[in-house]
Structure 1
Amino acid sequence: MPTLRASLVLLAVLTLMICAAAGSMTGRAETGADPLAAMIGDPLLARSDYIENCGGCHGVDGRSAPAQLPELQGRVGYFMCTPDSRAYLIRLPNIAHSRITDNQQLADLVNYVIFGIGGTSAPRGTKPFTEAEVAHERQFALSSVSLKAERARHVESAIRKCGAPASLRQLFVMPAPTH
């Protein structure tokens, strides 16, 4: 059980990270350089929701390695290339059954992941998730399928139909050692 001091230190670190993100997002939005601001109602809340609900496993910056979970950074956007794989993202149990019950807030979180953490991996012209789309897809949460097999199916589709890199087959890509 963490001590009060350790909990306060963790809270302070998270607060600093959120404040730093808020400052950088605000600066970009004012100059019109932040595309997230145009598709997410509250980018700071979306990032905070990601850190709270997803960051513990997928990493604060979307790098889950060496955990055996899919790395999101620079990769998750490839799942937006077909309607089926797009729906898969919302139907994932931890998304569909999220404690975030407001569908627009959840759409903002997923859009933050796709367009923020995913970087340029989303195909050009990809439309962000809407409140209505999230509400619809949540009804079909995945429960009786192998998530590993389902992910593999969507990865193959993204590679074949959308030119995603073959490295997407790996859960994560370890950086090459530097000499």
Structure 2
Amino acid sequence: MRSHSVRPFLCTALLLLGATAGLRAALPPMGLLPAAITDPDMARADYIEQCAGCHGVNGSTAPAALPELRGRVGWFLCTPDARAYLLRLPNVAHSRIKDNQQLADMMNYVVFGLGGASAPPAAAPFTADEVARERQHALSTTTLSAERARQVDAAIRICNAPASLRLLYPGQKG
């Protein structure tokens, strides 16, 4: 009788282990992250808890009408205004993560981990001081889509970002 009661627990544990392994495989390798991240595992966990529900665990949202992060969000580091825009987004600026270094770490995970090669090679990681300064100016008086379009146009014009950045995700139908 006892072996039958252990079996469901064992099956559940094995499923969770498999799900964890699958999740780890879908996430960017930690080697792409800047050394400035104080706790890379926490940064990844914060992203999953705070952002992945909308932007996807691996930063891919297609075909949802949300900006895809994977391989694209790094372009926002190419101008000071676009960089500030990322930190001023309402869900970032008003994040439940109150510690500015922890939020900087999560955003560095987003732009360097999920953004991958789209982040300019010389781009500096976000700092706690920068997060503290920019989150005080959360976007609230402009539509997010209009502000995103403005920042994307600047990245295309100034930094040679691909025109496909205007789409919410690669392959989007107009």
Normalising by the residue count of structure 2, what TM-score does the alignment of the two structures yield?
0.83
Amino acid at match of 2:33: L
Aligned residues: 158
Aligned-pair Cα RMSD in Å: 2.4
Equivalent position of 1:16 in the other structure: 20
Unaligned runs of 5+ in 1: 1-7, 29-33
Which residues in structure 2 correspond to 1:20-169 (within 5 Å)?
20=24, 34-36=31-33, 38-169=35-166
Counterpart of 2:57 in 1: which secondary structure?
A: coil
Give me the identity figure in percent: 61
- Render the CA deviation track for 1:14-69: whole Å, top value 9, x for unaligned: 97159847xx96xx6xxxxx242512111111011101110010000000111100
Normalising by the residue count of structure 1, what TM-score does the alignment of the two structures yield?
0.81
CA contact (8 A) 1:37 1:43 kept: no
Unaligned runs of 5+ in 2: 1-11
Counterpart of 1:39 in 2: which secondary structure?
A: coil
Runs of 4+ aligned structure 1 residues displaced above 2 Å come to 11-15, 17-21
Distance 2:95 2:123 in 1: 24
Distance 1:88 1:69 in 2: 16
Structure of greater Rg: 2
Amino acid at match of 2:49: E
